[in-house]
Amino acid sequence: MIPTALKELGFEYELDHIAIAVNSLEEGKKFYQAIGFGAMSTELVESQKVMTGFLKLGNAANHG
């Protein structure tokens, strides 16, 4: 669902995800769960040699 204020500005899409780089997934997980995010799933992106974490917020879809 797109908030009414965004529709009035001409936005016709929904936010899919936001990426935030952290030094430690475990420390980042603690912080984001403390402010209301749900459980974290992880996925290794071998081409970039990074581990990613996905946290759910509200009715957002889970990735990973």
DSSP character at residue 17 = -
Cα distances (angstroms) measured from residue 42 to each of 4, 14, 22, 36, 56: 33, 23, 14, 18, 12
pTM: 0.62
| Residue among 53, 58, 51, 60 at smallest CA distance from 17 | 60
pLDDT greater than 80 at residue 14: no
A 10 A CB-CB count for 54 gives: 18
Greater model confidence, 57 or 37: 37
pLDDT value of residue 11 = 75
